[in-house]
Amino acid sequence: MKNDCQEIREKFSGFIDNEIEPEAHRLIASHLEHCADCQAQANAQRGVKDLLASRLPMQAAPHHLRARVMNALRTQPESWSFRSLLQRLFEFQPMPAFASVALLIALTAGLALLAGKPTINQPEKRQALALVTNSQIEGVFTCVDCELLDISKTPYTHDQRHRLGVKCDDGIFWSILQTDKGSELSSLDGLMRRRIRVKGHLFPEQHLVDVTDYSVI
Amino acid sequence: MPESSKSAEQKRQVFEKIALPYMDAVYNTALRLTRNMLDAEDLVQDVYLRAFRFFDKFQEGTNFKAWIFKILTNTYINRYRQKVREPRQVEFEKIEYAYGDDPKTRDEKYETRFDENLYRELFEDDIRDALDKLSYEFRAVILLCDIEGFSYKEIAKIIGTPIGTVMSRLSRARQHLQKQLAEFAKREGYIKKP
């Protein structure tokens, strides 16, 4: 391998992706005409790029993650930015002179608070019921009691009604709200251990689903 | 509702409208960076919370996807990369060309020939595994360029390196991938030793 091959190969990606100057492009192209090794390398790299684009499995964000993030955006303490602090002060005390005094007090208090307690509880915000509308989950229609008896290898059957829900692949068990559609789904025979897709509104914190539609897969 | 919480609510709505459509892309990249579903989910949540916190700093009209991906790579490096779950990979700086002048590799020249038909036989999992074997610096540029379709200029901004470095890293990363895929193909018997 000649020395300039090394240099050329450093730029193969730019050559393939059309990210180099026309002059450099011409240089590489003319090198490839004379160097079979580099030519093979360039083809191989192009092949790898195509392979990645067409065959790498893409994974969409799971539905519960979307719900989790939206919930976190709603419940996290509002931004700590200086600007928002100022805004809030002026809102309570619109006169600038008072505001600056209030700002000083608030800042001192804020610093003391930050030093002493790194987290501030905001129960009234946490209680907000997060809801993700028109989403869907997919999983195995499962009775939670049967599942527990099964896991613990207990050779009994429970004598109560089945407590049914959808067990997703990530292990999360979604309970079904007993609305019209939810009750209908729960009362169906022969669905146990079948894989179903449930459409509806999700309560990600409580792992509850308000079913609007369902189908067996 | 007080004025500020109303505007905070508006800010969140605007943010969600712009940011949520990118969640699949952010998650997919997070998954390939962490190689672990639980970590990927935590990372995505961190990224979105951070992006929301700094949303004021985002300049309207500029590329939001590039902006949130910069937060993604930064957050990954700062928080997750320290949590090494596997034996350390080969130091990225020390990786030399896969097909240098080393005489030992000369007889494996068949590997450099790329035959589409042979690679077609590879499983999708093989392609993912090959990518996962790359060190972070290589994996990141591949994901950003070949999967997410960012330009070199955008990638340079996202990972904070000169464009020339993006180019050489990509060249090397593809070369490593190709070698790895050839090894998989050989293992599965799609390529016979000459």
Q: What is the DSSP string of A72-123?
A: HHHHSPPP--HHHHHHHHHHH---HHHHHHHHHHHHHHHHHHHHH-S----H
B127 touches chain A (CB under 8 A): yes
User: Which residue from B20, B28, B171 is facing A10, i.e. has the nearest CB?
Assistant: B171
What average pLDDT does the segment B77-85 reach? 68
Q: Are B65 and B183 in contact (CB under 8 A)?
A: no
What residue spans define the domains of chain A?
3-55, 78-121, 132-216
What does the DSSP assignment read for A8-30? HHHTHHHHHTT-S-HHHHHHHHH
Q: Residue A212 belongs to what H/E stretch?
A: strand A208-216
CB contact under 8 A, B167 and A13: yes
- What is the ipTM for the molecules in this complex? 0.78
pLDDT digits (tens, 9 = 90+) for B25-54: 999 999 999 998 989 999 999 999 999 999
CB contact under 8 A, B48 and A73: yes
Band of residue B6 on the pLDDT scale cut at 50, 70, 90? low
Q: What is the pLDDT of residue A131?
A: 76
Which residue ranges in chain A fall short of pLDDT 50?
79, 91-95, 117-127
CB contact under 8 A, A19 and B146: no
Q: What is the pLDDT of residue A85?
A: 53
The domain defined by A132-216 carries CATH number 2.40.50? yes
In chain B, the residue whose alpha carbon lies closest to the alpha carbon of A68 is B45
Q: Virtual CA dihedral for B143, B148, B149, B152, nearest 10 degrees?
A: -50
Q: How far is CA A15 from CA A169, B151, B169, in A?
A: 43, 13, 13
Q: What is the pLDDT of residue B117?
A: 62
Type of residue numbered B141:
V
Q: What is the pLDDT of residue B116?
A: 58
pLDDT digits (tens, 9 = 90+) for B84-133: 544 444 444 444 443 344 444 443 444 455 565 666 667 778 888 899 99
Q: What is the pLDDT of residue B100?
A: 42
Q: What is the pLDDT of residue B173?
A: 94
The lowest-confidence range among B6-20, B80-94, B127-141, B158-172 is: B80-94
Q: Are B185 and B66 in contact (CB under 8 A)?
A: no
Structural domains of chain B in order of their starting residue, each with its CATH number: 3-80 (1.10.1740.10), 92-188 (1.10.10.10)
What does the DSSP assignment read for B32-79? HHH-SHHHHHHHHHHHHHHHHHTGGGSPTTS-HHHHHHHHHHHHIIII
Name which of B13, B27, B53, B121 to mutate to probe chain A: the one with the most chain A Cβ atoms within 10 A of its Cβ.
B27
pLDDT reading at B171 higher than 70: yes
User: Which residue from B8, B23, B26 is facing A78, i.e. has the nearest CB?
Assistant: B8
